[in-house]
Amino acid sequence: MVLVFRDVSIRKQQEAQLQANELRLRRMAEAMPQIVWVTRSDGYRDYYNRRWYEFTGVSPEECLGWQWQDLLHPDDREKSVSRWRESLRTGEPFENEHRYRAKDGSYRWFLARALAVRDDDGQVMNWYGTCTDIEEFKRTADERERFFSLVKNSSEFIAICNFDGNPNYINPSGLRLIGLEELPEQPQLTFQDFLFAEDQSYVLNDFLPSVIEYGQGETEVRFKNVTSHDARWMSINAFVIYGTDGSREGLGTVSRDITERRRLEDHLRRLAADLSEADQRKDEFLATLAHELRNPLAPLRNGLQVLKFGQLKPEDDLQIREMMERQLGQMVRLVDDLLDVSRITRNKLELRREHVSLKDVLQNAVETSRPLINEFKHDLKLHLPDNDVYVDADFTRLSQVFANLLNNAAKYTEPGGLIELAVSPQAHQVIVSVKDNGVGIPAPMLVKIFEMFTQVDRTLERSQGGLGIGLTLVKRLVELHGGKVEASSAGHGHGSEFRVTLPLVASPRAFDDGNHLPSQRIANRDVTNRIMVVDDNVDSANSLALLLKMMGYDVRIVHDGLSAVDLFDEFQPTIVLLDIGLPKLNGYDACRRIRERRLGTRAKIIAITGWGQENDRRRSREAGFDAHLVKPIDPTNLERLLVSTLQS
C-alpha cells in the first residue's frame, strides 16, 4: 500500500512539474515578438500565441477548425503546403518564406519555421513553429536588388573604387567602354590604366584630391579602351562613398560617354571658324569688287571725254577705242564671272555638252586671252599633239576654263614672260597644262586658291586685278566635266603650273549649235536684210541699231512688245532681235504673235536677254524663237549668229 501511495505521489509530482514547465513555456511564447504556434499533425490549430491573434485580428473562437495555411497569401499557398508535405515526408524541419494576412487585409512577409514532434512509431503528433516578420528585410533586399539592376543595366559608366584608385566594381557598360569583359583580380586594375598618359597628372593630382577634399567633383576627360586604345570623351561625376556608420569608404562615379557631343562641338567650332573666315573673305571680296568695277570706269569716262572733243589723229583715235574696248571687256568679264559664281553657289550651272575638239576649245581660249598675253608681251608656246582629241564638253565653258588659266598666267607673270600650253593625251584621259614662269604660289596656298574669294596677295598693286573667283569657277567647271584641276609651284618667283585632267571620248560629233561657227566676215552682205530691234532700254536699242547699221543692215527700233507686233507687218524684217522683259507684251508672247502673222514663220527671231539658264532657253524655244543670246552681246558673236541664221 505504502508503495502504491508513493508511486502515485511521484507521478503527481511529475505531472505538476510538467504543467509548470508548460506554463513557463507558454508564458515565454506569449512574450515573444514572433508568432508561435502548435498544430495537430493534420495542421489544425492547437495553440497560437498572443502575437498571432494580434496580427490576424481573429479570436480563438473564430479560428476553431482553421488550418495553418488558411491565412496565407493565395500566391504563396501552394509552395508553402508542398514544402510542409516534404518535411512531413522526410522528417526535416519545415522552413519557408511566405505572406500572412494581417487584420487590415494587408499581407506581410514571414519566415516560418516548424518542427514535427513524433511518437515512438514515428507518427507526427504535433507541429511546433514560429513565424518571424521579415517584411522590412524583404523590402530592403528588394530595394537593393532594384538598385543593383539599375546600375547593371545603366548605359553610364558606374564604378566604385578605393582611395588608391583600384576599382572594386565597374558595371557592364563601364567594362565594355574600357574594353574589358570582367574586372580582373590579378593584376589589380587601377584608375590610371584607362587614362591617357597626358591626362593622368591632372586627374590623379588635381581632380581626385579635390573630390576627396570636397566630397564631389565633375570634369571631362578621355577614357582609354585598354584593348584598342581608342579614346572616349567622358563627363565624370565622382563622389565620396560613405558607409552606414558615416565613415568614408571609397570613391564612386557615374560617368557619361560624351564623345558624340564633343565631336559635334568640335565640328561647330570649326564651322564657326570657317564661317568667320568666309565672312572676312566676303568683306575683302566686296571691297575688291568695288575696286575692280570702278577701275575700268575711269579710263572709259576719260576715253568718252576725249572722243567728245573729236579731231583726233587716226592713230590716237584707234588707241583710245582699243583701250575702251579692253576696259569694257574687263568689266563684262567681271560681271560674267560674278553671275557664274552665283549660279555655281546655287547649283544652277548647267553644261550643254557635246563631243568637241580639244584643239578648237584651246584655240578659242587662246583667242580670248591673246589681248592680255600680248599686252604683257609674253611669249606663248603651244605644245599640241598632231592628232586632235575629243572631249564631252560644253565648248564655251571649257574654253572659259583655259582662258581663265591663260589670263592668270599672263596676270601673274612679269612682262616678257613665258607661258606654255601643253596637251598630253593618255589612254582614257587628257592632261592640259598651263605653265608660266611668273610670281609662283606659296605651297600653303596651292589648295586654297581654288576657294571662293581667295587671293594670295590682295594688297599687291596689280595692273590686272581680279575678284578671286576665277579659279573657283575653273575648278567647278572642270569637275562638272568629270575632270580635276591641280596647281603646283616651286614657290615664290618660280612660276606656276595648272594641270587639268579630262576624260576623253572616242569620236567627234558634229556641233549642232551655230554659236561656235568659225569667225567669218561677210564680203557682200545683202543690204535687203531688215532687222527689227525690240528693247525697252532705249540706249541699248539705239547702240545695237547703230552697230547693225554700220554692218550694213536696214534697222528699225521699237521699245515694247505690242509695237513690235504692229511694226512687223509693215517692216517685214528678216530678223527680229527681241528682248524678253518688255512692257505691254513680253518677248515670249510677242514672239508667239509674230509667228501667227503672214510672214511670221519666215522671219528669224532671236531672243536677247539677261537670262541664260537652260530653262530660259527652253522657254524661248517653246515660244518660237530661233536662237537665244545672253546680254551683253559680243558684237563678233552677234555677227556670226546673224550670218549663220541668214544662211540656214
**Does residue 372 touch ligand ADP according to CB under 6 A?**
no
Binding residue for ligand ADP (CB under 6 A) from 178, 300, 439, 533? 439
Binding residue for ligand ADP (CB under 6 A) from 496, 501, 529, 609? 496
Binding residue for ligand ADP (CB under 6 A) from 208, 344, 441, 630? 441
In the complex, residue closest to ligand ADP by CB: 466
> Cβ 257 to ligand ADP, closest distance in Å?
44
What are the cell numbers at 600?
511670221
**Does residue 456 touch ligand ADP according to CB under 6 A?**
yes
**Does residue 625 touch ligand ADP according to CB under 6 A?**
no
Please state, in angstroms and as integers, the Cα–Cα distance from residue 193 to each residue in 167, 187, 249, following that order: 11, 11, 22
**203 DSSP 8-state letter:** I
Toward ligand ADP, which CB reaches closer, 460 or 550? 460
Q: H helices within 438-469, ranges in order?
A: 445-448
In degrees rounded to 5, what are phi and psi of residue 627? Answer: -150, 170
Toward ligand ADP, which CB reaches closer, 296 or 438? 438
Integer Cα distance of 485 and 255 in angstroms:
49
**Does residue 412 touch ligand ADP according to CB under 6 A?**
yes
> Cβ 353 to ligand ADP, closest distance in Å?
24
For strands 231-242 and 216-224, give the pairing.
Answer: antiparallel
**Does residue 409 touch ligand ADP according to CB under 6 A?**
yes
**Does residue 296 touch ligand ADP according to CB under 6 A?**
no
> Cβ 451 to ligand ADP, closest distance in Å?
9
Integer Cα distance of 31 and 500 in angstroms:
104
Please state, in angstroms and as integers, the Cα–Cα distance from residue 530 to each residue in 262, 546, 552, 607, 644, following that order: 72, 13, 10, 16, 15
In degrees rounded to 5, what are phi and psi of residue 209? Answer: -60, -35
For strands 530-534 and 575-579, give the pairing.
Answer: parallel
Within 8 A by CB and 6+ apart from 86, the residues are 92
Q: Other CB atoms closer than 10 Å to residue 603's CB: what's the count?
A: 20
Binding residue for ligand ADP (CB under 6 A) from 203, 393, 423, 471? 471
Q: Which stretch binds ligand ADP (CB under 6 A): 167-175, 463-471, 506-514, 629-637?
A: 463-471
> Cβ 537 to ligand ADP, closest distance in Å?
29
Return the amino acid letter for 523.
Answer: A
Q: Which stretch binds ligand ADP (CB under 6 A): 43-51, 82-90, 447-455, 563-571?
A: 447-455
| 219 neighbors 206 (Cβ within 8 angstroms) | no
**Does residue 449 touch ligand ADP according to CB under 6 A?**
yes
Please state, in angstroms and as integers, the Cα–Cα distance from residue 278 to each residue in 270, 272, 284, following that order: 12, 10, 10
> Cβ 465 to ligand ADP, closest distance in Å?
7
Toward ligand ADP, which CB reaches closer, 402 or 412? 412
Integer Cα distance of 419 and 413 in angstroms:
9
**Does residue 167 touch ligand ADP according to CB under 6 A?**
no
> Cβ 337 to ligand ADP, closest distance in Å?
8
Integer Cα distance of 103 and 181 in angstroms:
51
**Does residue 112 touch ligand ADP according to CB under 6 A?**
no
Toward ligand ADP, which CB reaches closer, 455 or 501? 455
Integer Cα distance of 279 and 1 in angstroms:
131
Contact residues for ligand ADP, defined by CB under 6 A: 408-409, 412, 436, 438-441, 449, 454-456, 466-472, 496
